[in-house]
Structure 1
Amino acid sequence: MTPFQHISRPSYFAPAGAVTKPVTAVTPADLDAATLPADAAAWAKAAGFRADAGSVLVVPGEGGSVSRVLFGLGSDPADTPFLTGKLPKLLPPGDWSIEAEGIAADHLALGFGLGNYSFAKYKSEKARDARLAVPDSADADDIERQLAGILLARDLINTPTNDMGPDDLEAAFRALGEHYGATVTSIIGDDLLDRNFPLIHTVGRASAVAPRLLEMRWGKKGDPRITLVGKGVCFDTGGLDLKTATGMALMKKDMGGAANVMGLALMIMDAGLSVDLTVLVPAVENSVAGNAFRPGDIYKSRKGITVQIDNTDAEGRLVLADALAYADETPPDLLIDMATLTGAARVALGPELAPFFTDDEALASKLQLAAKQAADPVWRLPLWMGYDKDLRTRAADITNSPSGGMAGSINAALFLKRFVTASPSWIHFDIYGWNPSEKPHAPVGGEAFAIRALYRVIRERAAVSS
């Protein structure tokens, strides 16, 4: 696998100064407002074009040429800020330009780029020949940077585990670091025990591919310290508490937290932000073998907290616990973890909203504002300490899976909170990592969640400190 097919700037956009034809974005009201050129208005009326959201009408010019394309925005363009993701599949070949009232210029371009994406590693696919000029009012470099981070995350998640096991994820992680001159190290197999990462070792030891902790460092000492931690469970059988076949079907995506923090790290490094960045990924497979960890086992974590295993399918919080404890030993200014952690988060918020937990009110407010500006939706859930008692168990300090089946996402967040005691600002994301239905800007498959919003927050921090 070449993990960086989308690191280099994508060729989805027309070069600066290219001669383009217009895509005229219209709402139904525009068709009746006499604002269109007469030939386009007449053609639209004759064709019965209604400007439904995502609809396209090619307007002919002289000699069989194309004079322009009408692109329907629907009645409320704000509802679908990345609607231009439909255009790559619908536009005739060539270079095009677009302006649209009610949609930000950067969303127009980003939507087009995202809609160009397809995961074609294992099949041949015809290249799309339409390119869009990035509007003058948008930052082309930053759009392409964000696009590269999102598409990297999608690629990593979409790749099946036979090509994206812990060793392959390490190769992708190293390639990302080398691309930006970062320092990358790893602790593998029984060395995890020698270096006091017992929970990472426990979860991954039954796999044919050794578990490992990946670490990347980039930036300058003295700048704001940002640490990203991503769950890298490359496949999750559920362990001895085995998942059903249906439950395992999408478990290649259980390293979605790792993929997302790698996409975010790409944005940060590519922008050259003034931060001291660390990225940690515990990369494992939760497999079944004679040496698999068992329900009822008790293990001491890196932090010294003992954990009783009441469900081997609650493994993600275990590997995160050791990684977060390690990050917390030299407390960063901002500690972010991302994980495809609980089905309870999906039940609560569905597949489109990214749930997050934090005690930092200022951070929560900044993130929610950034998410709104970026059209990258997030939703805050409570670290409700009333449920912390549910983690208690008689034989150990805490259980990895409280009984009762209620507040599952909150309980998982409270579990992780036990391992972050020194960092002044911590935020936990319980993301889905997958898009289950076709969207204008996204096919079914691996997806990035909240990393554009987080990038805005981190960029703001870096700008204030510089």
Structure 2
Amino acid sequence: MNSYSHIDRPSPFTQHSPASRPVYLVAPSDIENGAIEASMLGWARNAGFAAEPGSLLLVPGADGELAAALFGFSGETEEAFAAGRLAKLLPAGDWHVESALAPQKIALGFGLGTYLFGRYRKDKHKQVRLALPDDIRVDVERQLAGVFLARDLINMPTNDMGPEQLEAALRALGKHYGASVASIVGNELLAQSFPLIHAVGRASAQAPRLLELRWGREGAPRIVLVGKGVCFDTGGLDIKSAANMAIMKKDMGGAANVMGLALMIMDAGLDVELRVLIPAVENSIAGNAFRPGDIYRSRKGLTVQIDNTDAEGRLVLADALAFADETPCDLLVDMATLTGAARVALGPEVAPFFTDDDALAARLSAISSEENDPMWRLPLWKGYDKDLKSRAADITNAPSGGMAGSITAALFLKRFVRPQTRWAHFDIYGWTLSEKPHAPVGGEAFAIRTLYRYFRELARQ
């Protein structure tokens, strides 16, 4: 494996070696009941180590040299990502975990905890490595590569990650895996019938564009991934407040996530026919910006009244989804940092998703629980479909009332997908608000580890 996202990063893993030191996962009850080796138990008790989850105690050997470490761990597999703290707490060197408990999850948690976005400053990064057998290491490294790519792209400020740079990143990813990448740029969007993408992005100094990556075997299961690529969102003429604009570099989080997912799929060599579509724009303010009250005819043919220029993500996705759905596929997935309503409903850590396919929803939900990749299905409630009505056009992009905003946004997108198409929409946050053992504050991947495993299953059918 030669993962694209690890080109400039050393792997946090090494092969099993006699030189690696052991880390013992210890629960509070192990200290209380004396369930660990006597010499380590005495050291732990004398040091006041109670094995609280996430705590670490270094253990010397008979010669006084560092010999091992005790790591407080409750034993619950859903807490395996707490192992991300090991990457920060352990001294430099090679280590291995003495536990059979969810070794892949422990390794993934550790690996995620090594992430550092250091493009703009030189941070000291100690080389702590976890020894793993190859059968675990290869796929964990692959998942880390996808997650780290998504984090890197989101964390990049817009002066270095506008539509042009996002295109360059997709082209670099495609080149790495032998995929073809094409783009439709500027007024050519109008010539080829992508009026909504053009309208949202035309006021930016960087021209709007639709990016397309293709990879895989023709005739294999067809997967289409669509990612919202709004590289910065001022809100347009319905301008956001300064506070709400502060992290709007993350509004291309949908694009970043589908690129991370595409990396996993291609790196694993899954037997699928993959297509990735990214409408890449910046929602800027200028004399030619689109306005409240404007009406545009979409690629699908539906007319859309603009009742809020800050509801721009669904517009660029509408044209991209309509284009994606013109060719039949086995599954169409879109990912977008779409609505604040989704955060009100489920907070910043759980990704709501929408689909009419009950079997798909059930399988994704089961995988997400097993993978510690939280998501929750919300309903495509038909009763709210009436809220999309417009007096002057077929639909509005911003229903009035402010109720069920994530659902009405999903219903808007559904209008651009044929009823017979298997489709799932993810309204992700793309950001970690407070530091976690496995994730620093900043850009974050949502749901892509679940989708990667689902596509592995699909490719084996």
- The TM-score range, normalised by the shorter chain, is over 0.9
Q: Which residue of 1 aligns with 2:23?
A: 23
Ranges in structure 2 where 5+ consecutive residues have no aligned partner: none
Question: Following TM superposition, by how much is the alpha carbon of 1:36 offset from its aligned partner in structure 2, in angstroms?
Answer: 1.3
Partners of 1:334 and 1:157 lie apart in 2 by: 25
Partners of 2:340 and 2:92 lie apart in 1 by: 43
Query: Which one of 259, 281, 292 corresponds to residue 284 of structure 1?
Result: 281
Please state whether the residue corresponding to 2:250 is helix, strand or coil: helix
Partners of 1:245 and 1:8 lie apart in 2 by: 34
Q: Which residue of 1 aligns with 2:360?
A: 363
Question: Following TM superposition, by how much is the alpha carbon of 1:37 offset from its aligned partner in structure 2, in angstroms?
Answer: 1.4
Query: Which one of 376, 383, 391 corresponds to residue 379 of structure 1?
Result: 376
Partners of 2:18 and 2:201 lie apart in 1 by: 52
Partners of 2:126 and 2:32 lie apart in 1 by: 33
Aligned counterparts, 1:194-233, within 5 A = 194-233=191-230
Query: TM-score normalised to the size of structure 2?
Result: 0.97
Q: Which residue of 2 aligns with 1:326?
A: 323
- Tell me which amino acid in the other structure corresponds to 2:221: P
Aligned counterparts, 1:26-41, within 5 A = 26-41=26-41
Question: Following TM superposition, by how much is the alpha carbon of 1:11 offset from its aligned partner in structure 2, in angstroms?
Answer: 1.6
Q: Which residue of 2 aligns with 1:263?
A: 260
**RMSD between aligned alpha carbons?**
1.4
Partners of 2:415 and 2:267 lie apart in 1 by: 33
Q: 1:148 to 1:282 in 2, by over 3 A?
A: same
Q: Which residue of 2 aligns with 1:304?
A: 301
Partners of 2:291 and 2:18 lie apart in 1 by: 62
Q: Which residue of 1 aligns with 2:314?
A: 317
Partners of 1:19 and 1:310 lie apart in 2 by: 64
Aligned counterparts, 1:229-268, within 5 A = 229-268=226-265
Q: 1:320 to 1:18 in 2, by over 3 A?
A: farther
Q: 1:31 to 1:135 in 2, by over 3 A?
A: farther
Please state whether the residue corresponding to 1:176 is helix, strand or coil: helix
1:80 aligns with 2:79: yes
Partners of 1:181 and 1:236 lie apart in 2 by: 32
Q: Which residue of 1 aligns with 2:93?
A: 94
Q: Which residue of 1 aligns with 2:64?
A: 64
- Tell me which amino acid in the other structure corresponds to 1:121: R
Q: Which residue of 1 aligns with 2:108?
A: 110
1:183 aligns with 2:180: yes
Aligned residues of 1:224 and 1:333 also touching (Cα < 8 A): yes
Aligned residues of 1:218 and 1:276 also touching (Cα < 8 A): yes
1:152 aligns with 2:175: no
Partners of 2:413 and 2:80 lie apart in 1 by: 34
Please state whether the residue corresponding to 1:156 is helix, strand or coil: helix
Aligned residues of 1:331 and 1:423 also touching (Cα < 8 A): no
Partners of 2:442 and 2:98 lie apart in 1 by: 29
* Deviation readout 1:233-278 (Å, 9 max, x if unpaired): 0000000000000010010000000000000000000000000000
Partners of 1:321 and 1:52 lie apart in 2 by: 49
Please state whether the residue corresponding to 1:329 is helix, strand or coil: coil
Aligned residues of 2:56 and 2:69 also touching (Cα < 8 A): yes
Aligned residues of 1:54 and 1:84 also touching (Cα < 8 A): yes
Ranges in structure 1 where 5+ consecutive residues have no aligned partner: none
Q: Which residue of 2 aligns with 1:130?
A: 128
1:192 aligns with 2:161: no
- Tell me which amino acid in the other structure corresponds to 1:23: V
Question: Following TM superposition, by how much is the alpha carbon of 1:428 offset from its aligned partner in structure 2, in angstroms?
Answer: 0.0
Question: Following TM superposition, by how much is the alpha carbon of 1:33 offset from its aligned partner in structure 2, in angstroms?
Answer: 3.0
Q: 1:4 to 1:139 in 2, by over 3 A?
A: closer
Question: Following TM superposition, by how much is the alpha carbon of 1:92 offset from its aligned partner in structure 2, in angstroms?
Answer: 1.4
Question: Following TM superposition, by how much is the alpha carbon of 1:5 offset from its aligned partner in structure 2, in angstroms?
Answer: 4.6
- Tell me which amino acid in the other structure corresponds to 1:190: N
Partners of 1:275 and 1:26 lie apart in 2 by: 42
Q: Which residue of 2 aligns with 1:443?
A: 440
Aligned residues of 2:181 and 2:211 also touching (Cα < 8 A): yes
Q: Which residue of 2 aligns with 1:462?
A: 459
Question: Following TM superposition, by how much is the alpha carbon of 1:10 offset from its aligned partner in structure 2, in angstroms?
Answer: 4.3
* Deviation readout 1:336-384 (Å, 9 max, x if unpaired): 0000000000000000001000000110011011111111111000000
Partners of 2:9 and 2:121 lie apart in 1 by: 22
Question: Following TM superposition, by how much is the alpha carbon of 1:435 offset from its aligned partner in structure 2, in angstroms?
Answer: 0.3
Please state whether the residue corresponding to 1:216 is helix, strand or coil: strand
Q: 1:45 to 1:17 in 2, by over 3 A?
A: closer
Q: 1:301 to 1:7 in 2, by over 3 A?
A: farther
Once the two structures are overlaid, the 10-residue window that deviates more, 138-147 or 375-384, is 138-147
Aligned residues of 2:5 and 2:145 also touching (Cα < 8 A): no
- Tell me which amino acid in the other structure corresponds to 2:393: A
Question: Following TM superposition, by how much is the alpha carbon of 1:66 offset from its aligned partner in structure 2, in angstroms?
Answer: 1.0
Partners of 2:21 and 2:255 lie apart in 1 by: 41
Partners of 1:288 and 1:342 lie apart in 2 by: 20
Partners of 1:276 and 1:8 lie apart in 2 by: 29
- Tell me which amino acid in the other structure corresponds to 1:78: T
- Tell me which amino acid in the other structure corresponds to 2:21: K
1:11 aligns with 2:16: no
Partners of 1:16 and 1:30 lie apart in 2 by: 26
Q: Which residue of 1 aligns with 2:400?
A: 403
Please state whether the residue corresponding to 1:403 is helix, strand or coil: coil
Aligned residues of 2:162 and 2:231 also touching (Cα < 8 A): yes
Please state whether the residue corresponding to 1:429 is helix, strand or coil: strand
- Tell me which amino acid in the other structure corresponds to 2:52: D
1:348 aligns with 2:345: yes
- Tell me which amino acid in the other structure corresponds to 1:62: A
